[in-house]
Amino acid sequence: MTAVLSHGLSSGALAALFTVGIALAWRVVGLIDFHLPAVFVVAGYGSVSFQDLGLPLLPSAVLGVGVAAGYAALLFLLVHRPLLRRGANPDVVLIATLGLLAMAQATLGWVYGPVRRYPFSGVQATVEIVGFRFSAADLAAIGLAILLIPALLTFLRRTSLGLSLEALSENRQLALVTGVNEPAAQVLTYALVAVFAGAAGVVSGVVAGVDPAIGVGPFLVAFGAVLVGGHQSLVRPVVAAVLLQIVVALISWQLPAQWDRTVLFTAIVATFLTRRIVVRQVQRRRVTQLAAS
């Protein structure tokens, strides 16, 4: 049971990192980016490549995330930004990002081959904390989530640069009037998004390995958490991601491992639909009360 909970906690931390990236892109730039699974994978492959060059564990991981951030910012300038500038509707941007994902998967498959690579495969140590046994990768996921998410929230609320990103997400027109440099803010947002997606990619690589298609599943889990928690907040999607992963770990405990994905997506869709129905009922009741008064 404790093993199941510690697995749920570490998967939740991993999903929380990716969730923050998706929610940030949606809030500030206003797009759902289906290309983020490629950023997730690029970070994993980046760390593998630096490790192949002989670099130690930590610098390889940091450089892998850096490569992913540069890659995401470059593609944002080449594809996303031109589409946003001409006011393309969200479906158009979404399809373009799906195209980018297909291109990235094909390129990575060609460069690295179909075999799954395992960065930091030597890291096998486990630690017991209050009866819960965690692997090094589990601790890395939880530690990164505890470190990076509050750091981002502090950056967004306490620095002028962060406040300009918040202003763009709250009221774009007013933010532009007050002198916020939108292109620069969007590129910065994308670099931050890539840091979170990339960090999730590197840690996920330690647990599950890296292959060109591995980012899609975690992306959809995180996207589901954003839908359940709502993209207006950064905290609620994180809580949703962690709770969903713990609940799914508990459900999957009794089932064969090959049904994990089915259980996960069924749980996400069921939670989201239930939340939507409850919210609608509450809204209807309020309207009825207002009409009666």
Q: Given the rule CB under 8 A, which residues bind other proteins?
A: 32, 79, 82-83, 88, 91-96, 98-107, 109-110, 113, 213, 216-217, 220, 223-224, 227, 256, 258-259, 261-262, 265-266, 268-269, 272-273, 276-277
SS (H, E, C) 61-128: HHHHHHHHHHHHHHHHHHHHHHHHHCCCCHHHHHHHHHHHHHHHHHHHHHHHCCCCECCCCCCCCEEE
Give least dist CB 231 to other proteins, A: 9
Alpha-carbon distance 232 to 153, whole Å? 13
Give least dist CB 177 to other proteins, A: 26
Q: Which is nearer to other proteins, 109 or 122 (CB)?
A: 109
Please spell the DSSP secondary structure of 138-163, one letter per residue: HHHHHHHHHHHHHHHHHHHHHSHHHH
Give least dist CB 138 to other proteins, A: 24
Q: Which is nearer to other proteins, 148 or 238 (CB)?
A: 238
Question: What are the start-end ranges of the H helices in 209-259?
Answer: 216-229, 235-252
| 158, 56 contact by CB (below 8 A) | no
Give least dist CB 270 to other proteins, A: 9
Alpha-carbon distance 10 to 201, whole Å? 14
The amino acid present at 194, given as its one-letter code, is: A
Give least dist CB 27 to other proteins, A: 13
Give least dist CB 273 to other proteins, A: 6
Q: Which is nearer to other proteins, 13 or 268 (CB)?
A: 268
- Strand-pair partners of 108: none
Q: Which is nearer to other proteins, 56 or 109 (CB)?
A: 109
Q: Which is nearer to other proteins, 102 or 127 (CB)?
A: 102
Q: How far is CA 71 from the centre of its chain?
A: 16
Tell me the HSE value of 250 on the side-chain side, using a 13 A CA sphere.
8
Q: Which is nearer to other proteins, 91 or 124 (CB)?
A: 91
